[in-house]
Each structure stands twice: as C-alpha cells, then as structure tokens.
Amino acid sequence: MEDFFIKSGDCGEQLEGVRYPDSVEPYYLSVGEEVSVFEQCHQRSLAVMLKGPTGCGKTRFVEHMAWRLKRPLVVISCHDDLSAADLVGRFLIHHNGTVWQDGPLTRAVRLGAICYLDEVVEARADAVVVIHPLTDYRRVLPIDKTGELIEAAPGFQLVVSYNPGYQHVSKDLKPSTRQRFVALDFDFPPPEREAEIIIHESGAERAVVHDLVGLAGRIRGLANRGLAEVPSPRLLVATARLIANGITPQLACYVGLVSPLTDDPGLTAAMRDLVDAIMVE
Ligand code: ADP
C-alpha cells in the first residue's frame, strides 16, 4: 500500500494499525459524485458500502476520503477466519495475569477513526453481526467479554467493501446487514479517465498507456468467452510500471496482464494475439 499515511510505529503514542493522514494527498481521480456523497454520509454518521470489482479504486477512495476529512484510518482485510474477537479484542495472558487488548474495530470506535472493512462478506457471521449496532442510531460497540458498551467517538465511520461478482449464494450479505449502508457503486473508469490514472500511477508515456487501455477494453470483451477475471485498473497500473521501467510493452503485457488472468491455453493465445496486434513497439 502506498505511503500516504503515517503508520503505527512511526511515532510513539500512536496506536497499532491506525494510520494518520500525512501531508501528502492520496491521489484519487473521481468518476462521479462519490466524493460529495461520502462527505454527506460522514457528516451524518452514515455507514457506507463500496460495491464493485477488485482493483477499481475502492481502497484508494477511502484513503483519499480519510485524508480529506482529516480522520485516522483503520483498514481491516476480511477473510473467512476473521471472527468477532479479531475485530473487537481479546484477553491476553501476561506474566502477571490477563490484560484486555482492543481489536482494530474497537480502536477505531474509541478514536473516531474511519474503519474500512475490505471484503466484509468474507468475514465470519459473528464478525458481521458485531458491526450492526455501530451502523444505526445507537453507534455503540458492546464488548461482551468485558461488559463494556463503547459509544463511538465523533468522526467514527464504518465503511465496507463488497464485490458482487465474487459472491456465492452461501456467502452473500444478509439483507439485514446490507440495509444498514448507503451503497456507492464502483466500476472500471471510462477509458480516458483510466488512462489518466495509469499515467499518474506508473509514469508511463501517454501513447503506450493509450494502447494499454485499448487492449484492456478488448480483453474485457472476452468475458463472454469464458474469461472469469478481466483486467482491473490495478493490473494495468502494474503492467504500465513494468513498461515505464524499460520492459518492452509486449513482454510487460504477457507477464503483467495475460498470465495473471488465466491458465486456459485458448484464452491465453487469444489475449497474446491481441497484445501482438495492439502493443506495437
Ligand atoms: P480496490 O480497493 O477496489 O480493490 P484499489 O483502491 O486498491 O482497488 O485500486 C488499485 C490501484 O488502482 C490503486 O492503487 C491505484 O493505483 C489505481 N486506481 C484505481 N482507481 C483509481 C482512481 N479512481 N484514482 C486513483 N487511482 C486509482
């Protein structure tokens, strides 16, 4: 992750896992009304859900908004083992007894931070339930193990991300959870915006980035021929960085774009043909 924030460990009194806005603005190119809607939600303490495919700028958007709103940021990557205790905290055994240690969500609640739960649907059901009382008028976090009921400090805001493309029926967000959020839709940016982002993030030349975005458009068209994953802006940025570092555009596309997307020989050949046709040296 880019260094737009001062992280724990950089400064003694800061809390583990909490990132504080640095003087450098995290670069984010907006594609709609998401910045102003988010600002309104923040003012009204409304929880926000960012919906969209991987690599299309959701995390960068949250970093940008935390910087804009001058709030600390706690980012939690959810996975299928993530439990309520991982979010809220647990008792740890020390040589002189047990001590309570806040989890990252509790830290964010006490501090009035923006707390971003990336891919929330991956978390265990007990972890998802824990966030419910934080998303309504109560804005509290009950900690069963200590009997504490923590009121969220001013500025606290819950943000989750959700990739509708990945969900299985067994792993979808329950309506009772979904309806607690304002939802902002994210998608791949229009070509000229995508090119602007890639140029900024990679330092590659405009002409080659223009070709790369054209190539991505053609490869995205292969989705209906069985390509499960299509190239995200993240993948294009990574490929453009290889090109900016001096690797030939063709090779950069083979290793940075084609190979990460599929193992299927037919699709690989089709994509390589597109690379050869579009990415002229
Ligand atoms: P997500 O959280 O949706 O998986 P990220 O926010 O990590 O995706 O975006 C991946 C990368 O793509 C970012 O690090 C950034 O380089 C680039 N990116 C994508 N969209 C934007 C945008 N709108 N503005 C700036 N950078 C973007």
- CATH match for 2-185 among 3.40.1160.10, 3.90.700.10, 3.40.50.300, 3.40.50.150: 3.40.50.300
Q: What's the CA-to-centroid distance between 150 and ligand 1, angstroms?
A: 33
Q: What's the CA-to-centroid distance between 101 and ligand 1, angstroms?
A: 32
What mean pLDDT comes out for the span 270-277? 97
Q: How confident is the model at residue 118 (pLDDT cuts 50, 70, 90)?
A: very high
Q: What's the CA-to-centroid distance between 226 and ligand 1, angstroms?
A: 25
27 pLDDT more than 50: yes
Query: What digits encode the pLDDT tens for the residues 73-113?
Result: 999 999 999 999 999 999 999 888 999 999 999 999 999 99
13 pLDDT more than 60: no
Report the nearest-CA residue for atom 18 of ligand 1: 57
User: How much is the pTM?
Assistant: 0.93
Name the residue with higher pLDDT: 97 or 275: 275
12 pLDDT more than 70: no
Q: How confident is the model at residue 23 (pLDDT cuts 50, 70, 90)?
A: confident
What mean pLDDT comes out for the span 214-237? 93
Residue-level pLDDT at 193: 97
CA distance 75 to 10: 17
CB-CB contact of 76 with 58 (8 Å) = no
What mean pLDDT comes out for the span 235-248? 98
Within 6 A (CB) of ligand 1 lie: 27-29, 54-60, 189, 197, 201, 233-234, 237
Q: What's the CA-to-centroid distance between 97 and ligand 1, angstroms?
A: 45
Please report the atom of ligand 1 found closest to the CA of residue 52: 3
Report the nearest-CA residue for atom 6 of ligand 1: 57
Query: What digits encode the pLDDT tens for the residues 34-52?
Result: 999 999 999 999 999 999 9
CB-CB contact of 131 with 86 (8 Å) = no
Q: What percent of the chain has pLDDT over 70?
A: 92
CA dihedral 245, 248, 249, 251 (to 10 degrees): -110
Please report the ipTM that was assigned to this predicted complex: 0.99
Residue-level pLDDT at 170: 60
Mutational test site, ligand 1, from 50, 56, 77, 196, max ligand atoms within 8 Å of CB: 56
Please report the atom of ligand 1 found closest to the CA of residue 50: 3
Please report the atom of ligand 1 found closest to the CA of residue 201: 16
Residue-level pLDDT at 2: 61
Minimal CA–CA distance to 182: which of 58, 48, 43, 39? 48
137 pLDDT more than 80: yes
Q: What percent of the chain has pLDDT over 90?
A: 79
Q: What's the CA-to-centroid distance between 207 and ligand 1, angstroms?
A: 21
1 pLDDT more than 80: no
What does 23-92 look like in DSSP terms, one character per residue?
Answer: SSPPP----SSHHHHHHHHHHTT--EEEE--TTSSHHHHHHHHHHHTT--EEEEE--TT--HHHHHEEEE
204 pLDDT more than 90: yes
Q: How confident is the model at residue 9 (pLDDT cuts 50, 70, 90)?
A: very low
Handedness of CA 39, 88, 104, 110 (dihedral sign): positive
Residue-level pLDDT at 81: 93
168 pLDDT more than 70: no
Mutational test site, ligand 1, from 68, 77, 234, max ligand atoms within 8 Å of CB: 234
Residue-level pLDDT at 281: 66
Q: How confident is the model at residue 10 (pLDDT cuts 50, 70, 90)?
A: very low
Q: Mean pLDDT in the chain?
A: 92
Q: What's the CA-to-centroid distance between 223 and ligand 1, angstroms?
A: 21
Report the nearest-CA residue for atom 25 of ligand 1: 28
CA distance 61 to 19: 15
Residue-level pLDDT at 7: 59
Q: What's the CA-to-centroid distance between 231 and ligand 1, angstroms?
A: 13
Q: What's the CA-to-centroid distance between 166 and ligand 1, angstroms?
A: 18
